[in-house]
Amino acid sequence: MTEPQQVDHAQHGYIGHKDDYLRRLRRIEGQARGLQRMVSEEAYCIDILTQVSAMTKALQAVSLGLLEEHMNHCVVNAAQESDDAGKEKVDEAMQAIARLVKS
């Protein structure tokens, strides 16, 4: 599932928003640390669950953002290259979408 090293980076759709994704992932990392603090301090279970749901939603938003940029770049470029290349990228994207829908 990993692309060859010599790939043209221009096709990675999210690169233009790298800083935005890094900022969101740092915030998510902070939420994971906040959850550890809550467990250490024996916070109320329901309050912890509320924070876990917020963190899951933040991760889901990151996924949908990355997927959109992937489709707008990698999938569209592949389709313009050839039908087969397009189909291959769609198959790969569909596997990622199925994992998202089921997780």
Residue numbers at the binding site for a second copy (CB under 8 A)? 1-3, 7, 9, 12-15, 18, 21-22, 25-26, 28-29, 32-33, 35-36, 39-40, 42, 44-50, 52-53, 55-57, 59-60, 62-64, 66-72, 74-76, 79-80, 83, 86-87, 90-94, 96-103
| Residue 6 to residues 9, 10, 26, 36, 47, Cα–Cα distance (Å) | 9, 12, 28, 40, 47
Q: Distance between CA atoms of 9 and 22, rounded to whole angstroms?
A: 18
Q: Could you tell me the smallest distance in angstroms from the CB atom of residue 40 to a second copy?
A: 7
Q: Least CB distance from residue 32 to a second copy, whole Å?
A: 4
Angle, helices 45-70 vs 18-40, to 10°: value is: 170
In the complex, minimum distance from the CB of residue 59 to a second copy, in angstroms, rounded to a whole number = 5
What lies within 8 Å, CB to CB, of 34 at 6+ separation is 51
Write down the least CB distance from residue 19 to a second copy, Å: 9
